Amino acid sequence: MNSRLRKRLFFEVRRFVHDIIYVDTRNLAQLTPEYLSLNDAYLRTKKKCESKKLPLDVNPKGVFACNELDLKEVNVYGFDYDYTLAVYKASMDSLLYNLGLDGLINKFKYPPGIREMKFDPNFAIRGLHYDIEKGLLMKLDSFLQIQLGTVYRGLSPVPDVEVLKLYKNKTVPLAYVENHGKTSQYFSSKMIQLADLFSVPEMCLLCNVAEYFERSQIDYHPEILFRDVKTSVGSGHPKMHNIVQHNVTEYLEQNPGIREWFERLYAAGKQLFLITNSPYQFVNAGMGHMVGADWEKFFDLIIVQARKPLFFTDESRPLRIYDKVQNTHVWDKVTQIKKGVIYYEGTLNQLQELTGWRGNEVLYFGDHPYSDLADVTLEHGWRTGAIIQELTHEIDTLNHTDFKKNCNWLQMLTQLIEECQEVDEADAKITLGTWTMERDKIRQDIKKVFNPQFGSVFRTYHNPTYFSRRLFRFADVYTSNLTNLLHFSEQHVFYPRRGVMPHEYSSYFV
């Protein structure tokens, strides 16, 4: 090793050891150039990693702040129903899958052989993108980059070479992904995102049928398949509502603590409202199961079949009264909001005019970052909370000792590779190649513990996912279950943590 390289390695490894491994500067004198070969640097880094204290566990019942939220300012609490108040069992996914499968066979005359393709609850995750034209399911990061290794046609991974050939680049153009702000069901973009949990069994059905066609060498049009599956699953929802409301305990968790929280908010003089796309009888059965037969007394306003996101964007759709006894809709004009009356459809503008609820005093919880949270925060200044049930699994994984050790070593090994990558000797390049292969394996291992195909809902190998980016943009706070808020008073202030930007890293850890 020439003297110039030895000197460079000395200063770079010394800085790395000081900044990243936190070794006492009194020991730096021992790191003389003659000992600073690449292998020595690797072994010292490995040893230091093994002695490094592991991060503390994350609280699985925590409420995480993206933006400062002062609950003292909140006088009105609003809620979506499905996957927000209602926590469904795994049987719900199987039910939706099977209803969609029946529709494909009975209505669209798909081959009965597709019944061989069973629902796999561990295949897809929320936040993925589906390319309607190409028939590919994939994971995008916050920069619209495709995470290679997470692109699937049916149930089969697509080789990276083919992905790059299809898209000409790792980065997907914005116009290909975004629908330019349109909230219509007719998408102008060529991709659709799985943004809620109802879409997970739908996407599994889509991939299963595509896999069946691929294996059977049956020609099919990816966009037609997508439309048929979407229509079939959608038409199965009324059947699902009927089945679940007559078998509530089979499909719905008890969600203990929800009534206690409602009672506390009610006693504190807070106003509560519910806006859901689900029908009244379905919601009534579920709320009765979770809260009790008197659940309506907690709510100042209840709107069913709201047709979100149109509820938040339409201007002229009138609010109507729902007759619980006759199971029909009254044609009278709604001029005031009355407690104990069930309402149907309407618009957000009407709600605000009739109630006077505005801006920071409203905190609305939903599970869908777009149809529940985006418009109310961007256009109306409401505060928002996202209920992300996958957090329970994600945090359990983060807290595992082996996962923490792998993350520590991945960080330190990556930094070591970066600091030593300028070497030009052949043997050194071979060593760096070995380190890079080790790094790639660790990244794969870390990914697979969340989900074997797609990894974490919240990040790719090193970037936040596209789903995370939208979640952090539209939600002031997020948590795994509404009942986690029982641990906080109505006077609590949620503060976001100050993150370290790339250009700040050295100044924080010198």
Helix%, strand%, coil% for the chain, nearest 5:
50, 15, 40
Take residue 127 and report the two structure tokens written for it.
């936040």
Query: What CA dihedral angle connects 371, 373, 378 and 384, to 10 degrees?
Result: 170
Burial-class residue 165 by CB neighbours within 10 Å (0-12, 13-18, 19+): exposed
Q: Largest Cα–Cα distance in the chain?
A: 90
Among candidate residues 19, 40, 82, 196, the one labeled active-site is: 82
The answer to whether 476 is a known ligand-binding residue is no
Following DSSP, what letter does each residue of 189-227 receive, concatenated? SSEEE--STTHHHHHHHHHHHHHHHHHHT----HHHHHH
Burial-class residue 471 by CB neighbours within 10 Å (0-12, 13-18, 19+): buried
| CA distance readout (Å), 237 to 128, 190, 229, 456 | 22, 25, 13, 28
**SS3 at position 23:** coil
Catalytic-residue membership of 102 = no
Among candidate residues 57, 70, 80, 323, the one labeled active-site is: 80
Closest Cα to residue 322, out of 362, 290, 282, 358?
Answer: 282
How big is the CA angle at 94 (ends 177 and 86), to the nearest 5 degrees? 80
Question: Can you tell me which residue has the tokens 């044609």?
Answer: 331
Sheet strands (E) in 261-359: 271-275, 301-304, 319-323, 328-330, 342-345
The answer to whether 80 is a known ligand-binding residue is yes
Catalytic-residue membership of 82 = yes
Q: How far apart are CA 444 and CA 414, in angstroms?
A: 14
Take residue 214 and report the two structure tokens written for it.
């691929």
Q: Which residues are catalytic?
A: 80, 82
Which residues are annotated binding-site positions for GMP?
Answer: 82
Residues annotated in a binding site: 80, 82, 367
